[in-house]
Structure 1
Amino acid sequence: MSLFLALFALSGTFLDTVQGTLEMMQFKNFIAQFNKTYASNEEFKHRFLIFQRNMEEAKHLQREERGTAQYGVTKFSDLTDEEFLRCRLDHRAYFESQSFLRQVTEKDAPLKTCDWRKKGVISAAKNQGSCCSCWAFAAVGNIEAQWGIQGTAKNLSVQQLVDCCKSTCGCKGGYPWNAFMTVIKLGGLTGEDKYKYTGKKGTCKNNLKPEATIQDLVILERNETVICSHVSYKGTVTVAINQALLKQYIKGVIDPRPENCHHHKVDHVVLIVGFSRERKYWILKNSWGDNWGEKGFFRLRLGSNACGIAEYPVSAIVNTGTFKRHLCPP
């Protein structure tokens, strides 16, 4: 049954209560915009009530927001917080248990502005779907960008990483350093056209010819100036952030109050592709498709470790054992 037929099949009492309200008009537009379908009238009512609560939360976030971010209707507006945050992993406990992971610094003064998209090395935002594979998309996006900066464009398989990762990973969430170590063990990644994304963990195909390799990985110091320096001259960086505010995010620069986006509760991996030190924001690539945020990207306050962005910055090293210096376009 279509949603609009389901709407008119609801009980008279419910219709009398909600028909013509702003919330119901918003919900109808939401249904049409994101092509939502529900299994029954009860499910429709259930999702409408969740939608109402999410709109109230968006209004609260808007009142609390200190930047230019706008919150409201998104593709996730019919999900509970438990559904939206089901992929959470404890990055801090796992990172600190791995004694071989060491953080390094950068000494070069960063540029004032940087946007690697302007060099044509950042692909369009892809969609991880219901698989908790943000870690894989961010890592593969990093490797693609690093090869692109070296002058060789790549479109690599995320699914190979999802299937072949042996540690905490797959569709249950994962860590970017494990992603890079998996690529090293595999001897590289094949192309997306040869190993397409399915959105679920399958059997590892490790006999395919790699189209890109990496030599090592680097974990940067927990310092935003250091991260800016690395992005300025060496390319993109994967980071783990607290995703709490992204559920309601539409556009603009997120500048959260610490209590709304605690830096110790990072649970989502994204890719830094640029920044503006003058206007104080990071530019980040997400893996929720181009119908979320700013065509799949978003901006976050720079300089206050907003949402934990400086906690776990990691990048692959490609082509040679050391980074070659490249200037990021402003």
Structure 2
Amino acid sequence: MNGYFCVLTTIDFFVLCFMCILTYLSETLSKKQKRGFFLAFVLIAGISVLEVITLVVDGLPPGYRWLNITANYLGFGLSPAVCICLVYVLDRKTALRREIRTAVRIEIGYLIFLFVTIPCGIVFSVSADNIYSRGPHFYIYVIMYFGAILYLSASTVITAREFQNRSRLLIYPLILFVMAETIIQVALPELHVTWLCVTLLSVLYFIYCSEMWNQLDALTGLLNQNSYLKQTGGVRYKGGVLVVFDVDDFKQINDQYGHIQGDLCLAGIAECIKKSYANFGYCYRIGGDEFCVLLKNGGNEGRCKQEFLQRLQEKRGEIAFLPTVSYGSAPFSGEDIVKVKDRADQDMYQYKKERKNRKRLS
């Protein structure tokens, strides 16, 4: 083992320790997300140690052969688990999703297969003289590793789309970077740069996910007010439409049913807004019971509105006391966003007034 690799491993450990401390001190990550990042960082550190062990003991007297085999087995076996841990981080729900459970089962099956085939040397072998070599079917490991990377990329893109993250295209160069590095490592095994690159990926992934979650409203999963202000501050739009929503008599819901049930109503309404509008614009919670959508194309407004009203009606089958929602909109015509918001609010107040008049007459 040369000094170059020692330096790389030392840098790797320092970065991983720093990221563990940063994860522990984070106030934006949930306990589940912290646990997922910790597992990923610890796995990367552990596999880096295993790689060091294989380089140190390879070629030593046969008495060290068992250590060489164990280190290679765990290194090859646990590598795909890093990506699974990062997918686990993406899901904010407490329960494990079915696809994550399936991925864990595949990983366990792979570990069992690798263990059973050690004597056959299918993926790797260590000779009686304690010399490591790749097996005839080393591609099985490569397939598992690439499969885990693709699983992580697909899960991240889907989650970023669900959370309306505008920088989701940045995922692709990250994944291409790791894949290119892996191909280089497979072709030139003497380089030993895989886990330094994986560490870099995990750091960038941590930054990306933290930024994505910082844009979200914790209760509803919509983009938050801060994201709205940053997106609209000083920008003059043309061609789109600003749609505003206000929950009617929401204070009465809180007073009569309690704040927990009130939050349930807000989350239900936000879900209806996202499912109806998110494919055509960005959905925000901009106040306690106020929401808005920046529609990219005003031609989609009518269709989205009808879908929203239909979903809202269906949601009342789940939440009987779900309040009504007032609606208003105003097109962008190059003026300041504040003026557009005022016009949309006026349209919404007119909507409220007309609906109250209809109720009074009926």
TM-score, scaled to structure 2: 0.24
Q: Which has the higher helix share?
A: 2
Larger radius of gyration: 2
TM-score, normalized by length of structure 1? Answer: 0.25
